Amino acid sequence: MVLRFTQRMSISVRTSSQAGRRALASAASLAFAIGAVPVRAQEFAAFAPWRFTAEAGAAAGGVWLEGARVPRVSTGLGFTFAAGAGRAISQAAGGVAVLRVSVQPLDLEENGEAWKGGTLTQYDMLALLAVRAPSAQSLRTTVEGGIGAAVLTGASHIVPFRNTKGVAPIGEIGIAVMRAGASSGPRDVALVARYGVVRLSADGEEGGATGWVGRVSAGVRVTR
């Protein structure tokens, strides 16, 4: 809008005096100074390149069911793999779309006895916002948060997964740390740690779900 306004005003004063041109230039400079931040942000987002990420790590935790007269169902240490694409939206923030697969063993326990219940696989689709945080000069730290949806498979023979709905809402918050100056090359390597939750909603009376189930994960992420 500032640019169009300046163009229209410039056309109308082409035949005016030199003093009029100087006044117009001063007004345009003031308008640009007032709108400098949003204009630069829009230009930054328009020309920021897309970058692609790949991540591998481990996940732990998650109590899916516990209570009287039902076994305690939890997930143990497993693996996560993810891929994503994103771009910077300003000099201090960026957005990323992520697809992640997590595989964890199921552990069941009741009356002092414990046994394995197979493997739980979780497919996540997330939209993340990453914001750069203050950190030491030798490190670059970003805080990340996101929401999305998950599909749980591989454990339909076990309560509470037997009657779960197809898609579950998820959310997470995490932190990524990399060496300062590493982003000058074609590849960035960062250590990532996060805490995420998934909402398990099961129908029926065989056993109630625990609602929001949390777990922690950590890994190494490469961005190109």
Q: What is the pLDDT of residues 36-94, one digit of tens each?
A: 334 444 544 555 789 999 999 999 999 988 877 888 899 999 999 999 999 988 888 99
In this structure, is residue 40 part of a structural domain?
A: no
CATH code: domain of residue 136:
2.40.160.20
Which of 83-97, 162-176, 204-218 holds the top average pLDDT? 83-97
Q: Is residue 41 part of a domain?
A: no
**High-pLDDT (> 90) share of the chain, %:** 46
The answer to whether residue 164 scores a pLDDT higher than 80 is no
Q: Are residues 99 and 30 in the same domain?
A: no
DSSP 48: P
Output the DSSP codes for 202-219.
Answer: B-SSS----EEEEEEEEE
CA distances from residue 142 to 70, 90, 152, 161, 199 in whole angstroms, order as listed: 41, 13, 29, 35, 26
> CA 212, CA 62: separation in Å to the nearest integer?
10
CA dist 34 and 7 (Å) reads: 17
Q: Residues with Cβ < 8 Å from 89, sequence gap 6 or more?
A: 41, 44, 45, 48, 95
Let me know whether 78 and 182 are in one domain. Answer: yes
Q: Are residues 195 and 89 in the same domain?
A: yes
Tell me what pLDDT residue 134 has: 83
Q: Are residues 213 and 182 in the same domain?
A: yes
Supply the pTM of this predicted model.
Answer: 0.73
Q: Looking at the structure, do residues 106 and 22 belong to the same domain, yes or no?
A: no
Same domain, 91 and 136: yes
Average model confidence (pLDDT) for the chain?
79
Question: Given the structure tokens 């945080």, which residue do they identify?
Answer: 133
One domain for residues 21 and 94 = no
Between CA 50 and CA 87 the distance in angstroms is 5
Residue 161's pLDDT band, with cuts at 50, 70 and 90, is confident
99 in the same domain as 128: yes
Instruction: Using the structure block, give the residue that is written with the tokens 């630069």.
Output: 40
Q: Are residues 29 and 91 in the same domain?
A: no
Least confident of 31-35, 127-131, 185-189: 31-35
Residues 83 and 120 in one domain: yes
Domain span at 95? 48-223
